[in-house]
């Protein structure tokens, strides 16, 4: 079954699409964004999973930026969910809250990983991938603080898998360093060292 070309997302279509298209139009001034703007008025966004297989570099870049925006949406929703649960006197460990937090952390991490892998493979968006990579690292301590240890383990496994995924050796090294910096920022030095050790093996 073919994936839908357009997805319903009123928040991203309203808030994310204008910023995303601003970046795309700067990088690819000849790319026609009119249909995307029109669909956004209907609350629709392009399906990034469809776009990331496009022959058009501009559309692949668009896919990466859409994945990034979706990741930001899922991760920001966690904060809202936790704030609401605290107001109701609930705690993050309660089943109803915990299940939702687990799902959002994993979906957000997966969307961010997709964004990184798509964007790092494009010269014009390579730096964007490196800039957002530390955010994926920082999901790990968030999960630990919320006592979602299995999620933390899954995200850590995802990070090492993402590091190995790029075809170019220099991209693997750049990602390992970016992830390591993200862990250093939250004082997880041992994981940062492991990633740098991995980068050294790739370089040798």
pLDDT tens readout for residues 71-127: 999 988 877 766 666 555 555 555 566 778 888 999 999 999 999 999 999 999 999
**In sequence order, which ranges of 121-148 are alpha helices (DSSP H)?**
126-137, 139-145
Token code pair at residue 27: 């990088």
Token code pair at residue 165: 């995924």
C-alpha torsion 98→100→106→107, nearest 10:
-170
1 in a domain, yes or no? Answer: no
Rounded to two decimals, what is the model's pTM?
A: 0.90
60 in a domain, yes or no? Answer: yes
- Write down the pLDDT at residue 10: 92
18 in a domain, yes or no? Answer: yes
Whether the per-residue pLDDT at 69 is higher than 70: the answer is yes
Mean pLDDT of the chain: 90
Return phi, psi of residue 54, to 5°: -70, 150
155 in a domain, yes or no? Answer: yes
Q: What's the Cα-to-Cα distance from 29 to each of 22, 24, 47, 119, 129, rounded to whole Å?
A: 10, 7, 21, 18, 21
Indicate the helix (H) or strand (E) that contains 20.
Answer: helix 17-27
111 in a domain, yes or no? Answer: yes
Task: Give the domain extent around 64.
Answer: 6-203
- Write down the pLDDT at residue 88: 58
Instruction: Tally the domains of the chain.
Output: 1
């Amino acid at each position: 079954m073919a994936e839908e070309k357009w997805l319903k997302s009123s928040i991203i279509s309203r808030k994310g699409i204008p910023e995303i298209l601003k970046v795309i139009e700067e990088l690819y001034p000849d790319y026609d964004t009119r249909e995307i703007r029109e669909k956004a008025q209907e609350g629709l966004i392009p399906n990034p999973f469809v776009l990331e297989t496009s022959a058009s570099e501009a559309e692949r870049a668009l896919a990466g930026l859409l994945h990034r925006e979706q990741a930001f949406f899922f991760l920001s929703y966690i904060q809202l969910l936790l704030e609401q649960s605290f107001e109701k006197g609930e705690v993050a460990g309660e089943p109803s809250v915990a299940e939702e937090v687990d799902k959002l952390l994993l979906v957000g991490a997966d969307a961010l990983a997709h964004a990184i892998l798509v964007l790092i493979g494009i010269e014009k968006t390579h730096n964007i991938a490196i800039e957002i990579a530390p955010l994926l690292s920082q999901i790990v301590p968030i999960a630990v603080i919320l006592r979602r240890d299995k999620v933390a383990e899954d995200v850590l496994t995802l990070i090492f898998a993402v590091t190995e995924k790029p075809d170019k050796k220099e991209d693997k090294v750049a990602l390992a360093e970016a992830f390591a910096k993200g862990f250093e920022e939250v004082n997880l030095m041992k994981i940062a060292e492991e990633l740098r050790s991995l980068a050294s093996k790739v370089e040798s």
